[in-house]
């Protein structure tokens, strides 16, 4: 263990995590807090009722520069990037030629550039892929900024004490904001299903600002454990679990990320496969699952139909603290992927009945206007 930790990278908040009693674990090559003293359950519930501060500095941040950056980006993703207005942000997917998903990412139109946030585990591959394919645009990887997420119903009130302008932002927009004279880039977005912000802040200022936020009585530090249970309740995919190179956007029920123009024009990797699936359907679909008992069904759990035939697999599953019960996501044969259908989750060899539902499992509280 001691040798492993030596090779792990740390974020600018490493000392803060340890001071706050975090249990540190290796994650995507970084030493990251999985939970603090309060524990996953309290951290989860606190984020839904007050505000939680997450260190997501391990994620990849970059800017794509050039007058044709949006057009270039569209050659790699099925999302509408050219049509994204200045200051607006969009969830999209890097796809491969087979229609599989290389990563999911957020893209914000910043006027003179696109600001991109990708998953930590994929960032090196994503950026290499973008550099290799995007010869008309320049990719600048942002190494000197940390990324903090402040999430929850009190996030706006708390952050507005330092940056009054953030109150007026709506969900999925971004803007440059000065906080105590520090230039930051803030988006109203997150990965919890709650209202909140992600704050890109210079590495050297991140620790002090995180401490300021934590000094606010509404704010508690939140680890990766609660980040996972919050996103699962919100019905959001985890790359590597729910989506990967073997799943297409259509199988993953992410059709909504592909707008009308992109469907008509294509021009992204795997477009033939993906557009064909929009038209003809797929053999399997991602769904939400509500187990009827109390036993959580974890990723990898086999799903059977009520006749005992193979029906699919759970890709994310656990206990939802706000739901106060087990919840899961997984892939099912398309004819079973209908809300209300009953299936069996094979937990430790025993059939546990579950109902197919449409995620999210909790009400999303985004500020849309």
Partner 1 sequence: MTVKYTKDHEWIRLDGDVATIGITNYAQEQLGDVVFVEVPEAGARFDAGAEAAVVESVKAASEVYAPLTGEIVEGNQALADDPSLVNSDPEGAGWFFKMKPDDLSQMDDMLDDVAYRTLLVDLD
Annotate each residue in 192-231 with x if it binds partner 1 (CB under 8 A) or - if it does not, as one string.
---------------------------------xx--x--
The 10 Å CB-count burial string (b at 16+, else e) for 107-123 is bbbbeebbbbbbbbbbb
Cβ–Cβ < 8 Å for 274, 250: yes
Q: Tell me if 18 contacts partner 1 by CB under 8 A.
A: no
Q: Tell me if 295 contacts partner 1 by CB under 8 A.
A: yes
How far is CA 325 from each of CA 21, 191, 235, rounded to the nearest angstrom? 27, 20, 15
Cβ–Cβ < 8 Å for 11, 146: yes
Chosen residue from 5, 15, 19, 39 binding partner 1 by CB under 8 A = 39
Q: Tell me if 326 contacts partner 1 by CB under 8 A.
A: yes
Q: Tell me if 137 contacts partner 1 by CB under 8 A.
A: no
**If we measure between CA atoms, which residue out of 299, 288, 311, 296 comes closest to residue 357?**
288
Q: Tell me if 298 contacts partner 1 by CB under 8 A.
A: yes
| Calpha distance 110→92 (Å, rounded) | 16
Alpha helices, H only, the chain: 2-7, 14-19, 40-49, 69-74, 123-133, 155-160, 203-215, 224-233, 260-265, 271-280
Chosen residue from 31, 35, 175, 316 binding partner 1 by CB under 8 A = 35
Question: Smallest distance, Å, CB 297 to partner 1?
Answer: 10
Question: Smallest distance, Å, CB 358 to partner 1?
Answer: 23
Question: Smallest distance, Å, CB 146 to partner 1?
Answer: 25
Q: Tell me if 34 contacts partner 1 by CB under 8 A.
A: yes
| Calpha distance 45→42 (Å, rounded) | 5
| Calpha distance 334→32 (Å, rounded) | 37
Chosen residue from 319, 331, 337, 344 binding partner 1 by CB under 8 A = 319
Q: Tell me if 44 contacts partner 1 by CB under 8 A.
A: yes
Chosen residue from 13, 22, 24, 40 binding partner 1 by CB under 8 A = 40
SS3 label, residue 19: helix
Cβ–Cβ < 8 Å for 233, 38: no
How far is CA 318 from each of CA 49, 52, 165, rounded to the nearest angstrom? 21, 20, 37
**If we measure between CA atoms, which residue out of 56, 82, 80 comes closest to residue 69?**
82
| Calpha distance 219→144 (Å, rounded) | 25
Q: Tell me if 321 contacts partner 1 by CB under 8 A.
A: yes
Q: Which is nearer to partner 1, 77 or 303 (CB)?
A: 303
Q: Which is nearer to partner 1, 223 or 312 (CB)?
A: 223
Q: Tell me if 344 contacts partner 1 by CB under 8 A.
A: no
**Binding window for partner 1 (CB under 8 A); candidates: 39-47, 53-61, 88-96, 337-345:** 39-47
Count the residues of the shown chain that bind partner 1, applying the rule CB under 8 A: 19
Q: Tell me if 41 contacts partner 1 by CB under 8 A.
A: yes
Q: Tell me if 164 contacts partner 1 by CB under 8 A.
A: no
Annotate each residue in 228-257 with x if it binds partner 1 (CB under 8 A) or - if it does not, as one string.
-x----------------------------
Would you tell me which residues interact with partner 1 (CB under 8 A)? 34-35, 39-42, 44, 225-226, 229, 294-296, 298, 318-319, 321, 326, 348
């Amino acid at each position: 263990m001691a040798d492993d930790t030596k090779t792990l990278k740390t974020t600018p908040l490493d000392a803060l995590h340890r001071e706050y009693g975090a249990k540190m674990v290796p994650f995507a090559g970084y030493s990251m807090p999985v939970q603090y003293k309060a524990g996953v359950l309290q951290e989860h519930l606190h984020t839904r009722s007050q505000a939680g501060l997450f260190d997501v500095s391990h994620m990849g941040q970059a800017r794509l520069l050039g007058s044709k950056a949006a057009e270039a980006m569209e050659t790699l993703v099925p999302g509408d990037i050219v049509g994204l207005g200045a200051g607006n942000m969009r969830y999209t997917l890097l796809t491969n030629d087979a229609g599989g998903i290389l990563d999911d990412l957020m893209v914000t139109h910043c006027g003179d550039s696109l600001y991109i946030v990708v998953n930590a585990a994929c960032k090196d591959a994503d950026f290499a892929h973008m550099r290799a394919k995007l010869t008309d645009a320049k990719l600048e990887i942002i190494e000197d900024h940390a990324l903090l997420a402040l999430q929850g119903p009190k996030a706006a009130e708390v952050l507005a004490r330092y940056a009054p302008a953030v109150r007026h932002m709506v969900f999925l927009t971004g803007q440059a904001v000065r906080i105590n004279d520090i230039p930051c880039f803030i988006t109203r977005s997150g990965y919890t299903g709650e209202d909140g912000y992600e704050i890109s802040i210079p590495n050297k200022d991140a620790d002090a600002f995180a401490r300021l936020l934590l000094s606010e009585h509404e704010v508690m530090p939140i680890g990766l454990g609660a980040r996972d249970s919050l996103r699962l309740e919100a019905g959001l995919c985890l790359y590597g679990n729910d989506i990967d190179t073997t799943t297409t956007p259509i199988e993953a029920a992410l059709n909504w990320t592909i707008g009308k123009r992109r469907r008509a024009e294509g021009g992204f990797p795997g477009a033939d496969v993906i557009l064909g699936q929009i038209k003809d359907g797929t053999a399997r679909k991602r769904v939400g699952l509500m187990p009827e008992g109390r036993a959580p069904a974890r990723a990898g759990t086999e799903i059977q139909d009520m006749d005992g035939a193979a029906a699919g697999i759970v890709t994310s599953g656990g206990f939802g603290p706000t739901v106060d019960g087990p919840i899961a996501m997984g892939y099912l044969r398309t004819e079973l992927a209908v809300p209300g259908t009953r299936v069996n989750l094979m937990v430790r060899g025993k059939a546990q009945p579950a109902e197919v539902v449409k995620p999210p499992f909790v009400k999303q509280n985004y500020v849309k206007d």
